[in-house]
Amino acid sequence: MQNYWGIQVKRIGILIIAIILIGGTLLSNAQSQQEVNVTIEGYKFQTSQMPLQLHADTIIRVKNLDNVRHDFGSQMFLNTLTHVESDGVVTYGKGVEGAYVNSGKEATFRLMLDQVGRFQFQCSIHPDMKGEILLLIVDAV
Ligand SMILES: [Cu+2]
């Protein structure tokens, strides 16, 4: 009996910790993470983004729906610490030029933008493929 209650208490404890962790993650994501979604289809970039703020964690997700490999490259990564994940390979640092995005795969770039402007990106394999991300001044709520 004592053993039984011991296990129950342990389970409730773990449950409470899990709820706190999940709640904390949701809360911090809502507060500080902003996303840009880029879809590649038919040799074109399609960008959808919310208004971006300076100095906030920004995640750019690039999804390649074509059946050829593409590349997502931008000057915006050059002077900024950027965390890149593509096909299970992680790169982190300054001076990242971009990443290949294989057919049907997704690449993510995490960085913090500290300059307002238009950030152009392109595919180095197909030079006609270009797009841009806008960071205009938005009043903080
Ligand atoms: Cu391409």
pLDDT one-digit tens code per residue, 45-55: 999 998 998 99
Going from the Cα of 115 to the center of ligand 1, the distance in angstroms, rounded, reads: 27
Q: Is the residue at 121 inside a domain?
A: yes
Question: Which CATH number belongs to the domain containing residue 131 in this structure?
Answer: 2.60.40.420
Going from the Cα of 30 to the center of ligand 1, the distance in angstroms, rounded, reads: 32
Query: 18 pLDDT band (50/70/90 cuts)?
Result: low
Write the pLDDT tens digit of every residue in 83-108: 999 989 999 999 999 999 999 999 99
Write the pLDDT tens digit of every residue in 96-140: 999 999 999 999 999 998 889 999 999 999 999 999 999 987 565
pLDDT at residue 7, as a whole number: 62
Token pair for 121: 């990106």
Going from the Cα of 35 to the center of ligand 1, the distance in angstroms, rounded, reads: 22
Q: Is the residue at 28 inside a domain?
A: no
Q: Is the residue at 115 inside a domain?
A: yes
Asked whether the predicted pLDDT for residue 3 surpasses 60, the reply is yes
pLDDT at residue 32, as a whole number: 72
Give the C-alpha separation, 97 to 55, whole Å: 21
Q: Which domain holds residue 99?
A: 33-135
pLDDT at residue 139, as a whole number: 60
Going from the Cα of 21 to the center of ligand 1, the distance in angstroms, rounded, reads: 39
Nearest to 52 by CA among 35, 69, 76, 71: 35
Going from the Cα of 71 to the center of ligand 1, the distance in angstroms, rounded, reads: 6
Asked whether the predicted pLDDT for residue 77 surpasses 70, the reply is yes
Weakest mean pLDDT among 7-16, 72-81, 111-120, 130-139: 7-16
Q: Is the residue at 7 inside a domain?
A: no
Going from the Cα of 126 to the center of ligand 1, the distance in angstroms, rounded, reads: 4
Spatial neighbors of 54 by CB under 8 A, at least 6 apart, are 113, 114, 115, 116, 135, 137
Going from the Cα of 61 to the center of ligand 1, the distance in angstroms, rounded, reads: 16
How many separate domains does the chain show? 1
